[in-house]
Structure 1
Amino acid sequence: MAFSPDELERYSRHIILKEVGVKGQKKLCAAKVLIIGAGGLGAPAALYLAAAGVGTLGIVDADEVELSNLQRQIIHGTSDIGKPKVESAAETLHDINPGVNVVTYREFVDSSNIADLIADYDFVIDGVDNFPTKFLINDTCVMGKKPFVHAGIIRFKGQLMTYVPGEGPCYRCVFRDMPPADAVPTCKQAGVIGALAGVIGCLEALEAIKYICGIGELLTGGLLTFDALKGDFHTIKLPPRDSNCPVCGDHPTVTELIDYEQPSCVLAQHGTALT
């Protein structure tokens, strides 16, 4: 694949990086990334992956744009209120980079469709706002041997970790079970500072770019936390893969995809998520 003069100019700041270069940019242009959730985390991740030239971006979301989304879901605008989020996202991404193929899925993710959704993609981004879907994404990616990045935000704090098959623990190794439904506040109760979604969502995009290009060190085996009020990043070293993990362990007990029941938009310091 030879780059056109416009592409060489568009991606010039990548190409002059010795860690990326023409080879790395070609990898990006050939890559396929699936973003589950076009909200606070998925929005900035999608914007930067499109700008980076990722060849195919899949966007999964069943919701419509609401006024309360606009404080953090920067892929949408005021004129998009009432529009399907995937449609709004696709329009913005095409404007940023017409060369990117945006595939939209206006549907809820559950055990009946998620395996098919991730099948054709090289990397998955978790941008969802509820524990049942986070566990489902993990289980599907582990069973399907797909790398993915998890992230969560609440109030002024965020966290991030990456799973790569055969390298480090999965989400279940770290957060074994969902918290009880009445143990954590809802999104509307807890709140979140909007710019935090941008910080953590962009870090998700960066993990995808590093994985695709094969550069740097991924957050496999580490949980990155960020306290926005203190301006403090900290990486917690995680234990190795748990041999007793119910999904990636030596003798898995979770061998089929499960639709867990818990009210959406719950969050906690245990795998937080608020988008």
Structure 2
Amino acid sequence: MIALTSAHASGVTVSSLALALSGARPSLLAECDAKGGSIRTGYRMGEWGGEVGLWHLAQADREDKLAEAFEAHLRRLDADGARLWLPGLTDPLQAAAMAQTWDALGLLLQAMDQHAGYDVVIDAGRLVVEPGGVHPSLYPRPLLHRADLVLLVVRNTLTSVAQSLPLARCLQLELEERGSGADALRLLLVQEGDVPEHEITRRLQIPVIGTLPWEEKGGRLLTHGTVRQVKPASMRLFKHARQTAHAVQVDASTRRLRMQLPPASVASPKVAGVVQRLLAPRQDVKISG
């Protein structure tokens, strides 16, 4: 399970979508930006509204029905249903309702990643901090703690690198104290500028796991959607995303084995039921389009 975040507007949602749509295995993209999601009005072009999404999971969690609501609010991200999407919030004011649900949701997403065969990609949005660390209610902090890797999305410009440096240190401290360690942090570079990769690595002291090109056509598709027939596989953005998705999967698996991290618990019969249903043959899984 990986989480993507940034220090500023660096293209976290586009990067998350590109990885979720490009990996070799089935994927699940959880849109967890506390400021609100943009996929339903962008890439999905208004196909779904506020009747689905994270806010409903908070209410279900208070009624001890989170697992059932999680399954009910999954939507297809592609035509064949191999790639799923959990829509995000529609209003930043809804984020406060999620404060007590992020951790339970993180456990469920972790189980989906480790037991149901999905590569889980979390769009955590822009990092929100307060004195002492990552903000506990205005940011999905528990999801970072459960992630195998956290990707800090940085553009290769001097401004982006400078803005990312203090928040990168904050992230490292957060992961060291509450997550699986500071070495879970990686950089995902968006090639908009001309600062070389080795210079960014030197300044931030964090390894780069992949790069995505600044491609207008691919970015527009993921930001606004399209009614035209397109072939994403032919776009440079998706070619690079496939390479990065593979590198992420190998790195996360290797790190988990090296650290001997325990698997996510599926002790809850409700969570186990969701996992088992999503392990069923694809044609038997009832997911809305």
Q: TM-score range by the shorter chain?
A: 0.3 to 0.5
- The structure that is helix-richer by fraction is 2
What TM-score comes out, normalization by structure 1 length? 0.39
What TM-score comes out, normalization by structure 2 length? 0.37
Higher relative contact order (CA 8 A, sep 6+): 2
